[in-house]
Every structure is written in structure tokens, then in C-alpha cells.
A and B are shown apart, each in its own frame.
Chain A
Amino acid sequence: MSAVVFFIAAIGAIAGAIGVVALRNPFYSVLALVGHLLSLAALFLLLRAEFIAAAQVVVYAGAVMVLYLFVVSYIGGGSLQQMTPGGSNLRLIAGTAVLALFAELAIAVLGSGLQAIDSDGAPYVSGFGSPAAIGEALLTKFLFPFEVASLLLLVAAVGAVVLARRRTGGTTLDDEARDAAHYITPRSLFSGTMAEAVGAIRDPAEPPVGVTDETERSGW
């Protein structure tokens, strides 16, 4: 029974992975990744990692993929035109490198001489991988990584807000007539500073050339 579930889930995971790489439209790539993550969660369940499987489905296949879908929809049709694939030389070299990598990994895994690698794993102890066991380990043995992870999440959230923010000096520009002189930078419009990101508008200078209509009106 577990063998059947394993093969179904493994084939699903590999097919999802191939779909991510091979599909042309990023939207379908994201959907293929959702299928891949769900299959992977089934594999995690087979490995008795119940909490990780649940977190995988809820956080990854749920939240993170919705974030991806939002960005794909935001970037939208115009930028999703068919990109010409990289040259066939690139594909050949990449394929060779990947095959070599897989051969190396397979040799490393199967030739490692680990005794337990051919077994079904250690005998199952009740509670292994349950939320209680994970929570206890996180709050005792792994307390420091846990706290560092929370700090990392905070930094990433702040960084994403700063990155995705309009660099031209806040909301007022939306209400005024679009005038190149508002952009006030003698350098390229496509660059900005962190000071401008938080709203400090620089003194007027010569308007940038030919970028009057380049900025978008619709914001977040």
C-alpha cells in the first residue's frame, strides 16, 4: 500500500517539477508547482512528518503560491510574451551539466554505504513528527534558530515593502499633473535611493530626457 502511494506521489512530484520548467506560461508553471508541492506533502506524510506536511500544504501551497499568482497576474499579459528560448548550445550545456549532477548525486546517495539506507527507517515511535514533538524541539533544543527565523521573516517583510515601493517620493505625485520636472533626477529615472523610497524628494534639477510618459499611474 505504501509503495503504491509512494509511486503515485513521486510521479506527481516529478511531473510537477518538469511542468514548472517546461511550461511556457508562468501562470501554468505556478499551478504545476502547486501540484508538485501537494505530491511532496504526501511523500512527507509517508515519511511520518505530519506537521511538516500540514505546514507544506497550508503555508507553501496555500500562502506562498497565492503570492506568486498575484505577482504573475500583476505583471500580466504584456510581459508574458513568448520568450525566445536560450540558444540550443545553452540547453545542451545545461542538460549535460544537470545529467552529470544527477549521476553524481545518485552515486553519492546509493554508494554511500549507509546501513539504514536500504531499510524502511528507524522503528516508528508514537509521536514522531507530531506537532507536539516539533513544538517541543523548537522551543527547547532549537530555540535560537527559531528566534533568528522570526527576525529573518521580519527583515524580509520590511525589505519587500521597501523594494516594491514607489521610488519617486510618495503619493503626492499621483495627484499632480505628470510632469517630467517632478522626477527631478539628473540621473536615470530607473534608479532611486532609499531616502527617496521613504519620501524625501530631491531638489528639482534638469528633467530626465524622454521619460515623461514612462511612469505608470496605477499604483498599489
Chain B
Amino acid sequence: MSIAWYLVVSALIFCIGAGGVLVRRNPLVILLCLELMLNATNLALIAFARMHGNSDGQIFALIVMVVAACEVTVGLGLIVAIFRRRLPIDVDELRELQG
């Protein structure tokens, strides 16, 4: 399969994830959609690494995975903290910081 196919799949997954971030209101699902977007970029990075025959892009993808794991940990910690304060788990309700 040519590299372009992988890039189109990657773009599609990224757009689905972006749409989820825009539409969904549960912060857990928003985190999942962020994962989708990060994974789409990983796919593009690895496709480009294959295109150039250079494994640097794979290292980049690995580092992206590390950052995604950190983001998940902190994000889930925040959600648990929100839940323990009996606040609604809904990003539309959590807008005290909004001007």
C-alpha cells in the first residue's frame, strides 16, 4: 500500500477525534478523543518514517506515547478529584474559570 493511504487514514482518525472533542461533554470521553488525535499523529509519523526509511520518526512516535500517558494520568486524576467533590462531570457545567 502506498504511504498516501496511511496518511489519509491518519487524517480521518484525527478529524473524528477533533469532532469528538468539540461535541462530547463528558471529560472522560474528551480525553479518549484526545487519545484518538494523538494516535492519528503517531500513525502519520510512522508512515513518514517508513517513507524515508529512517527510524527517527518512530522515536518521535514513542515520545508522543510517553506524553500521552502523562496526559492521561493527570487528566484522570483531575476527573477523580472533580468526582470526589461531587461536582457534575460535565464540561459545560465546569466553567467557573470562564471569564
* A contact residues vs B (CB 8 Å cutoff): 2-3, 6, 10, 13-14, 17-18, 20-21, 26, 29-30, 33, 36-37, 40, 43-44, 46-49, 51-52, 55-56, 59-60, 64, 67-68, 71-72, 74-75, 79, 83, 85-86, 90-91, 93-95, 97-99, 101-102, 105-106, 109-110, 114, 116-125, 128-129, 133-134, 137-138, 141-142, 145, 149, 152-153, 155-157, 159-164, 166, 189-190, 214, 216
* B12 and A14 contacting across the interface, CB-CB below 8 Å: yes
* A122 and B77 contacting across the interface, CB-CB below 8 Å: no
* B28 and A56 contacting across the interface, CB-CB below 8 Å: no
* B15 and A160 contacting across the interface, CB-CB below 8 Å: no
How many angstroms from the CA of A137 to the CA of B58 in the assembled complex? 10
How many angstroms from the CA of A62 to the CA of B14 in the assembled complex? 22
* A156 and B74 contacting across the interface, CB-CB below 8 Å: yes
At the interface, yes or no: B95 with Cβ under 8 Å from chain A?
Answer: no
Given contacts A37-B39, A83-B25, contact A55 B11 (CB under 8 A): no
* A64 and B39 contacting across the interface, CB-CB below 8 Å: no
* A49 and B58 contacting across the interface, CB-CB below 8 Å: yes
How many angstroms from the CA of A74 to the CA of B83 in the assembled complex? 9
Q: How far is the CB of B66 from chain A (nearest CB, A)?
A: 4
* A101 and B15 contacting across the interface, CB-CB below 8 Å: yes
Contacts of B58-82 to chain A: CB distance below 8 A: 58-59, 61-63, 65-74, 76-81
* A122 and B51 contacting across the interface, CB-CB below 8 Å: yes
The number of residues on chain B lying at the interface, defined by a beta carbon within 8 Å of a beta carbon of chain A, is: 74
* B8 and A138 contacting across the interface, CB-CB below 8 Å: no
Query: Which chain B residue lies CB-closest to A128?
Result: B55
Residues on B with beta carbons closer than 8 Å to the beta carbon of A67: 72-73, 76
How many angstroms from the CA of A189 to the CA of B20 in the assembled complex? 32
B51: contacting residue among A51, A116, A164, CB under 8 A: A116
A149: contacting residue among B2, B63, B90, CB under 8 A: B63
* B53 and A128 contacting across the interface, CB-CB below 8 Å: yes
Q: How far is the CB of A94 from chain B (nearest CB, A)?
A: 4
User: Could you name 8 residue pairs across A and B whose Cβ atoms are closer than 8 Å?
Assistant: A21-B17, A60-B68, A67-B72, A75-B79, A85-B25, A110-B4, A119-B3, A141-B59
How many angstroms from the CA of A56 to the CA of B35 in the assembled complex? 12
Residues on A with beta carbons closer than 8 Å to the beta carbon of B78: 163
Residues on A with beta carbons closer than 8 Å to the beta carbon of B61: 49, 52
* B15 and A105 contacting across the interface, CB-CB below 8 Å: yes
A122: contacting residue among B11, B12, B53, CB under 8 A: B53
